[in-house]
């Protein structure tokens, strides 16, 4: 353990990865379950730090399956897939969703995947399902507002006025839940900008600039 910490602090991630994977394959270090779990975590960290998204994803995927309701594991999963060069996680999340349809993190991630893919109606369904479970979560309200915003901005979308109204409604819910801060004002300004409501966008941008940054 001390050697792993030392190599990590020295940023010798390649050596750290070789060391942890060698230890994980040794029967001597896998006699106790807690040691095996700790080694697996070290393998994940070393792979992530070394830029090896392939092995990092394989490890974190197993952690998610075994700890489906652990928020920290989901945060690690997000960090890994943000660096990944492929989209293997899309199929994995869909399969996992079929077994755990009420899992909040899964619903949000599937909504994100649909949003990135441009299938806004599917993302809207995922976000709406998540919002029913967590109506006080500001991020979900914001994502609903953004999904409606993207739909309203599509060239051939019908009932644009209705979509804009619903987008603004959910963005206002987001503002109420998140509270007045640079983040919320900027996000509303950016959404208004995208919708072409420029006076509204300027109003929120000015609100953003009027507040002191939360980060020194």
- Quick one: pLDDT band at residue 147, thresholds 50, 70, 90? very high
User: Tens digits of per-residue pLDDT, 37-49?
Assistant: 888 888 998 988 8
| pLDDT above 70: residue 163 | yes
User: Tens digits of per-residue pLDDT, 196-207?
Assistant: 999 999 999 999
**pLDDT for 29:** 66
* Alpha carbons 75 and 23: distance in angstroms, whole number: 26
Tell me which of 20 and 141 has the higher pLDDT.
141
* Alpha carbons 50 and 204: distance in angstroms, whole number: 41
* Alpha carbons 188 and 205: distance in angstroms, whole number: 8
User: Tens digits of per-residue pLDDT, 59-91?
Assistant: 999 999 998 989 899 999 988 888 877 778 888
Round the average pLDDT of the chain to a whole number and report it: 88
**pLDDT for 123:** 93
User: Tens digits of per-residue pLDDT, 83-142?
Assistant: 877 778 888 888 888 888 889 999 999 999 899 888 899 999 999 999 999 999 999 999
* Alpha carbons 29 and 117: distance in angstroms, whole number: 43
**pLDDT for 144:** 96
Q: What mean pLDDT do residues 146-152 have?
A: 94
**pLDDT for 83:** 82
Q: What mean pLDDT do residues 177-199 have?
A: 94
| pLDDT above 80: residue 4 | no
Residue 60 φ/ψ, nearest 5 degrees: -70, -30
**pLDDT for 21:** 86
């Amino acid at each position: 353990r001390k050697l792993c910490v030392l190599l990590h602090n020295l940023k010798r991630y390649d050596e750290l990865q070789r060391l942890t994977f060698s230890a994980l394959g040794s029967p001597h270090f896998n006699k106790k379950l807690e040691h095996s779990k700790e080694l697996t975590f070290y393998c994940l960290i070393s792979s992530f730090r070394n830029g090896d998204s392939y092995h990092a994803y394989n490890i974190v995927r197993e952690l998610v399956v075994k700890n489906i309701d652990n928020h920290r594991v989901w945060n690690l999963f997000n960090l890994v897939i943000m660096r990944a060069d492929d989209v293997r996680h899309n199929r994995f999340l869909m399969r996992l969703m079929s077994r755990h349809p009420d899992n909040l993190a899964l619903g949000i991630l599937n909504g994100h995947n649909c949003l990135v893919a441009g299938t806004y109606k599917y993302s809207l369904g995922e976000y709406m399902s998540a919002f029913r479970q967590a109506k006080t979560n500001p991020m979900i309200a914001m994502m609903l507002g953004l999904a409606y915003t993207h739909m309203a901005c599509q060239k051939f979308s019908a009932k644009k006025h209705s979509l804009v109204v619903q987008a603004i409604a959910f963005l206002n819910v987001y503002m109420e839940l998140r509270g007045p801060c640079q983040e919320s004002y900027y996000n509303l300004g950016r959404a208004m900008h995208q919708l072409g409501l420029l006076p509204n966008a300027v109003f929120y941008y000015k609100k953003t600039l009027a507040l002191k940054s939360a980060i020194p």
